Structure 1
């Protein structure tokens, strides 16, 4: 039987912010449209062009994954987990199906979205938007974020036989307007070739026996741990936390327990490798054809100039986990984490400089994602919502 997403030994590292949250509040149906019991989403839900959404198993009418997100006056101060920029402005996503739009990164408006599941990732290409998260939900906007269509929902049900049901999506990548990838917990990968209307599962990790957790044996009064006890073994179905693409079209994925995958043929086949750090990596950035930067647990950052054949540790000066990041020109980068942590370097090889962000309430939020605002500042999102920050180093 597939492990459920609240398996305690896997939560602590790989999903940290996102999976530590409740999946969604169980609410009674209101006036919101929902799929009646016994029907699939494709029986009812059609977008404006008449194309049916992806067929799914029967979903209860009061399941949060298919209920409209509730308007909340303080949505901009709620937990937000990702942010993206389009010609129409900034879009942030987070708990309870919240999607927020902003022209300037300062003033945010909640948008109507057909799900209450927590959204963990948002992607954009040529003004078209996709967002995804818990319960396997994927929603889609083709009009600059004004209206949204639910394309996929796969919540866990008591009679489920599909191992992907209930599995949260952790990251999205679109390489053009038609071709995209979604990755998530338990080695989940979904691929679309029609702009996100339909999604098909793909295999990244070849099937194999699940490796047992290290065992620790007590010797009477003396508990001891040897090197074998402490070694982290590779998971047979690791959480896939982030996906990126290089300029030559190569794809790379990072995940829990040092998991690293790469594809040089557009995702048709994947090579599994191990990072030199055996903890979880939560994000990966790319420059050019082979330059990569992976970041994650306990402030660990690894850099590669050969598409992951070799890695060098990067000194960050912190033990704080790094949850989000953004590539800057010439190998520069900005990384964010707990307690308002912001790390920046202006170019490849430069040391990271540490800053601490506090919002207007004097709080130092746990930050999940970051994006330059185009005016020497940063748009930050995390457990206290969205905020603007101008690091002293870039102040005019």
Structure 2
């Protein structure tokens, strides 16, 4: 008996160490009441959050995800992103539409990003939106048109506002492909990633843009900057990029994982997560230099991610929700 009592704590410690080495983490799955995919998740506090996705599905929680309440947005457009610049003021982009709230998501109203007839060579679609302050913001996506029953991207699309989203003006950028995501740091610096490995950068709040050398032609779906220097981008075929100088140079981070990565998000300067297709979740605890796989418990595609120091959420196919319990 004495031997077994002494052995049990040792075995428990060993199991904890092995679990840590393998990168397994406590992700807990649930499902919301939708058959469509969830692609966006955003929390304004530990208890207040939002999820959104296909066919205009939008729901919110006020109890940390224990229950979710659907909001009828009156659109069938797929919601591509949710973003709040503070606890009250939030934005949704859904196809060519944008919806805004000024009361913390209790009500939403549609507003115009592009006026009728402003885009003459195709149909606009917006995928990402960010604000640097209460006045200045950017929305990005693409212009597409049907060619022989196929939707073909014909140009990149970047819109800019200086009045909190009341009016928007198009900004021409040195790219023609689809732009998937953008991130601000401070009031003047921002980055955009897109098809063909495109990374665009601005130092004047989006008035002008320059291409950065990504070193890849794979689509880049998401970008996250911690400050003016340290940033991360992820994409297709296992691409993870990292910079320590604001994107003047980007380095590929080698990993054995070759899936499609959809989102990267850092909770602080050291700890970051990546989610992607087939349920993959990766974690880094050394500023993105190395990554280990965490057990997600699903083979479904994961499209959205939101991580803070004390909690996190991922969303994906067919209403899938994953909560990270620390």
Counterpart of 2:300 in structure 1 is 365
Counterpart of 2:322 in structure 1 is 388
The equivalent position to 1:340 in structure 2, one of 264, 274, 279, is 279
Are 1:194 and 2:133 matched, yes or no?
no
Q: C-alpha separation between the residues in 2 aligned to 1:199 and 1:133?
A: 16
Q: C-alpha separation between the residues in 1 aligned to 2:205 and 2:115?
A: 29
Are 1:79 and 2:37 matched, yes or no?
yes
Change (3 A) 1:390 1:123: closer
Could you state the TM-score of these two structures normalised by the residue count of structure 2?
Answer: 0.79
Q: By how many angstroms is 1:176 displaced? A: 1.6
CA RMSD of aligned residues (A): 2.4
Are 1:150 and 2:110 matched, yes or no?
yes
**Range with greater deviation from structure 2 (332-341 or 344-353):** 344-353
Q: Contact 1:105–1:373 (CA<8 Å) still a contact in 2?
A: no
Q: C-alpha separation between the residues in 1 aligned to 2:289 and 2:214?
A: 22
Q: SS state of the match for residue 150, structure 1?
A: strand
Counterpart of 1:141 in structure 2 is 101
Q: Using CA pairs below 8 Å that are at least 6 residues apart, which structure has the higher relative contact order?
A: 2
Q: Contact 1:92–1:101 (CA<8 Å) still a contact in 2?
A: yes
Counterpart of 2:85 in structure 1 is 125
**Range with greater deviation from structure 2 (106-115 or 147-156):** 147-156
Number of matched pairs: 281
Could you state the TM-score of these two structures normalised by the residue count of structure 1?
Answer: 0.66
Structure 1, residues 44-67: CA drift from partner, whole Å, max 9, x if none? xxxxxxxxxxxxxxxxxxxxxxxx
Q: Contact 2:268–2:309 (CA<8 Å) still a contact in 1?
A: no
Counterpart of 2:131 in structure 1 is 174
Q: C-alpha separation between the residues in 2 aligned to 1:90 and 1:276?
A: 36
Q: By how many angstroms is 1:373 displaced? A: 6.0
Tell me, which stretches of 5 or more residues in structure 2 are unaligned? 1-30, 143-154
Tell me, which stretches of 5 or more residues in structure 1 are unaligned? 1-72, 206-235
Q: C-alpha separation between the residues in 2 aligned to 1:310 and 1:153?
A: 33
Q: C-alpha separation between the residues in 2 aligned to 1:268 and 1:113?
A: 32
Q: Contact 1:82–1:368 (CA<8 Å) still a contact in 2?
A: yes
Q: Contact 2:133–2:187 (CA<8 Å) still a contact in 1?
A: no
Q: By how many angstroms is 1:76 displaced? A: 4.5
Matches within 5 A, 1:168-247: 168-185=125-142, 186-205=155-174, 236-247=175-186
